[in-house]
Amino acid sequence: MLERYKYIFNIALEAVFLNKFRSILTTLGIIFGVAAVITMMAIGNGAKKEILDQMKLVGVNNILIAPKSDKHKSNSAKSEDQSTQTGDKKEDKNKGKFSPGLSLKDAEAIRIIIPTVSRVSPEVIYETDIIKDGVTKSAKTAGITPDFFHVFALELQEGEMFNDDQLKDGKPVCIIGPVIKSKFFPAENAVGKDIKCGPIWLRIIGVLKKREVSQASIDNLGISDYNNTIYAPIQTLLRRFKDRSMITTASLHGGVDQIDENSFMVTSSSQEGDNVKDQIDKIVVQVKESTQIGPTVEILKKMMMRRHAGADDVDIIVPELLLKQEQRTKDIFNIVLGAIASISLLVGGIGIMNIMLASVMERIKEIGIRQAIGATKRDIVLQFLMEATLLSLSGGLIGIILGLALSKIIMELTDILTIVSPLSVIISFGVSASVGIIFGYMPSQRAAAQDPVESLRHE
């Protein structure tokens, strides 16, 4: 029996190679279909990984509270003026109220009042010149609390975290990112060394592990470049560097920040065209359970409105929900692209069926001779089915190679992450084999149904 199948397979293989050009044209649909499926799935896998990486960057179950941009504030101010001019009594009632802006007190109130909150991470960020041994580089200096490292799952490469005394008293200590270490301490241990951030000196007590962060993620998600930032206790920056909530004589007259060289204090001037004094740049609120995000956001909105005297001066954003929506959009897009790619496989299968039907009509006499020397209908069916399967499998193999190449080329030329999974290769190859069997069955049945006598008379 095995020898019989081997003989039939050799006949099918010989028929494929006798018509090489036609065989190549027949398999083109399968080749491009398989390549398209693999490429689309690779793009989809890459997009999914990027979203998951971004979710790790923004943390799990996090809510971001940040001051509204000047544009939003100016639009809000215009709305208030228009409402006042039209005689809106509600606006008249609120006239003269002053919002203190986003502050540490807001963060503390959120921590104490809202039971669904597990961690609260206030953050203040300044662009500073970092100086050591005459080398000057620009970088961000961020004032944070220990909750920051838990919220964003950041770990130390070496050194230790801030202790309670350093946090409470605003000690001049800091933890640096790996890029800062490589710039200023490339061949030495950074822990225990001093580094100057603007007008103040900070003692390094720890170095963070490297975290891959793309510039797009930094811009789109509003997160910090963890690798290129110096982290100090928030009280350290507010006391020793700058506290924007402080009102000074210079700020009232639109003056410039003044630095006290003896205490390294920096007084803050008013932000140009803006009366709101945001003491901090953002508050990240981590919720205990993902199901509690929605209700917590509603509570935060009401709480911020109440604490800010009815002023709508903060944005409350759930990065994880935005990313999930983005993932959903990309999934739909990939499904559509995958469906279009799958149509190529269908077209390739129809092409195989058409060519095989034409082949049957051309080889009626050959079929008659085979039947005359003892070939059964089953043998004829197997012969043409094997030919169709060989065409689809060879097209599938070439398509896999082309798909891998296209995925690599797309990643190199467009910076779009592509990840070819073994599952996508197995699925596309299995589909190509199935296409050959399904669309080769009808021509093989038609060949086996030929009458031997009529076939031998056929010219």
Q: What is the mean pLDDT of residues 248-265?
A: 44
356 domain-assigned: yes
Residues 367 and 345 in one domain: yes
Cα gap 367→398, rounded to integer Å = 30
Nearest Cα to 202, choosing from 119, 123, 110, 130?
130
Question: What is the tens place of the pLDDT at every residue in 204-247?
Answer: 999 999 877 665 555 555 566 788 889 999 999 888 888 777 76
Q: What is the mean pLDDT of residues 68-74?
A: 56
Residue with the bigger pLDDT between 76 and 14: it is 14
Question: What is the tens place of the pLDDT at every residue in 180-209?
Answer: 998 888 888 999 999 998 888 999 999 999
Question: What is the tens place of the pLDDT at every residue in 306-322?
Answer: 988 888 888 888 776 66
Q: Are 420 and 38 in contact (CB under 8 A)?
A: yes
Nearest Cα to 231, choosing from 181, 285, 291, 183?
181
All residues at 6 or more sequence positions from 369 whose CB lies less than 8 Å from its CB, including other chains:
455, 456
Residues 298 and 386 in one domain: no
263 domain-assigned: yes
Domain of 184 in residue numbering reads as 99-312
426 domain-assigned: yes
Nearest Cα to 193, choosing from 182, 208, 183, 205?
205
- Number of domains, the chain: 2
Q: Are 37 and 341 in contact (CB under 8 A)?
A: yes
pLDDT value for 262? 38
65 domain-assigned: no
Confidence class of residue 267 from pLDDT cuts 50, 70 and 90?
very low
State how far the alpha carbon of 169 is from the alpha carbons of 65, 134, 189, 238, 349, in Å: 26, 30, 26, 11, 74
118 domain-assigned: yes
Angle at 343 between CA 339 and CA 345, to 5 degrees: 115
Q: What is the mean pLDDT of residues 44-50?
A: 77
**Percentage above 90 pLDDT, the chain:** 14
Residues 132 and 251 in one domain: yes
Q: Is the pLDDT of residue 89 over 70?
A: no
pLDDT value for 273? 39
Angle at 165 between CA 164 and CA 169, to 5 degrees: 120
**Percentage above 70 pLDDT, the chain:** 75
All residues at 6 or more sequence positions from 414 whose CB lies less than 8 Å from its CB, including other chains:
none
* Whole-angstrom Cα Rg for the chain: 35
Give the helix/strand (H/E) hosting 153.
none
Domain end marker among 312, 334, 368: 312
Exposed (0-12), middle (13-18) or buried (19+): which is 86, by Cβ within 10 Å?
Answer: exposed
pLDDT value for 264? 37
Q: Is the pLDDT of residue 274 over 70?
A: no
30 domain-assigned: yes
Q: Is the pLDDT of residue 405 over 80?
A: yes
Q: Is the pLDDT of residue 349 over 80?
A: no
- How many other CB atoms are found less than 10 A from the CB of residue 261? 7
Q: How many residues in total does the chain contain?
A: 459
Residues 29 and 127 in one domain: no
Nearest Cα to 106, choosing from 145, 65, 76, 68?
65
Confidence class of residue 425 from pLDDT cuts 50, 70 and 90?
confident
Residues 19 and 151 in one domain: no
φ and ψ of 350, to 5 deg: -65, -40
66 domain-assigned: no
pLDDT value for 58? 64
Confidence class of residue 370 from pLDDT cuts 50, 70 and 90?
confident
pTM score, two decimals?
0.58
All residues at 6 or more sequence positions from 361 whose CB lies less than 8 Å from its CB, including other chains:
none
pLDDT value for 53? 67
Q: Is the pLDDT of residue 170 over 80?
A: yes
82 domain-assigned: no
Domain end marker among 285, 312, 339: 312
